[in-house]
Amino acid sequence: MATDRKILQWLENELFDGNLVLGQELPSERRISEAVGASRSATHEALKTLESMGILRLYEGKRHQMIAQLVREPAASAGPALKLHMATAEYPLRDIVHTRVLLETWALRRADREHPAMRELTKIMDEMARDDLSLKDFHHLEVSFHVALTRLAGNSLVTGLMTGLRDSIYEYTLSLVGYVPLWSTTATRLCAEHRAIYAALEAGDNELAARMVAEHIEGHYLEAGVDPDRKQRSSGSVFVQPEADADGEVHPLEPSSTLAHSVADTKERDADMPDSAPEVAETLNSMEPADESGAHGGSSRAQ
């Protein structure tokens, strides 16, 4: 086994046993080399490899000794690889929109309104309401809001995937600014939709929150005239100019896909990933005969 993989396995064990925490400074090279059974030179090179992977940070300490530190968010190291995928994919926007909707709606259906991330969401919304925010700061907060939403489910892997997508989401959403009819109106709408999603979560209506976030994500792109299902042959080929009426007024495009309905409205899509036993009432409802419309009695939902 390569030395870098030995060190990675050792780090996993140390984290699992509670001997290390993310962001902590690691033992000396000598101690690491002894722990993994490798030479000092092989350990030195392996640590550099892990730094390039985004798992460690290396810096020089006293007496020119190299010190290694675990990163606080190792999932962020997946970002560069995902950006390469986005750059080479035929349908990059479709991929990122579908993935965001899948991750965020799954997380919101399992959201715990007592989770500390609810307080984080409040702080982000307050920051986004400031009048002195730059475009870049606004969009960094926009992405942070959606990453925080995934934390509510308590699934670190889902949050890790969303964190890995962070840079790609930021770049694509920032690129939409020049294509919306009036950015200030769009920013106000995005903030209002954030608060509506939060209110649904606070009220315990996770299904409504999931529907809202799907429409929020898709609507952001549609307003700018973006068709996620078009192939990307150049950096601007996915954009189509919004149409204007006889008076020169620009109207948002009508939704051209069924993403919000096909993903957010169908709870059965993630039924193979249960996180708890079904409620008694839900189980009984599922046994009731379907009416003529195909819906079970007592379980109607708004369309």
Q: Which amino acid is at 81?
A: A
For residue 167, the model assigns a pLDDT of 84
Q: Residue 34: pLDDT band by 50, 70, 90 thresholds?
A: very high
- How do residues 191-223 score in pLDDT, each as one tens digit? 999 999 999 999 999 999 999 999 999 888 888
What architecture (CATH level 2) is domain 3-10+17-72?
Orthogonal Bundle (1.10)
pTM: 0.61
Q: Which amino acid is at 109?
A: R
- Residue 171 tokens, joined: 């770049």
CB atoms within 10 A of CB 107: 25
* Cα–Cα distance for residue pair 239/144, rounded to 1 Å: 25
The mean-pLDDT minimum among 14-23, 110-119, 199-208 falls in: 14-23
Closest among 32, 92, 86 to 58, alpha carbons compared: 32
What is the average pLDDT score of the chain? 77
- Residue 235 tokens, joined: 């950096």
CATH superfamily, region 77-286? GntR ligand-binding domain-like (1.20.120.530)
Q: Residue 137: pLDDT band by 50, 70, 90 thresholds?
A: very high
* Residue ranges covered by each domain of the chain: 3-10+17-72, 77-286
* Cα–Cα distance for residue pair 301/290, rounded to 1 Å: 14
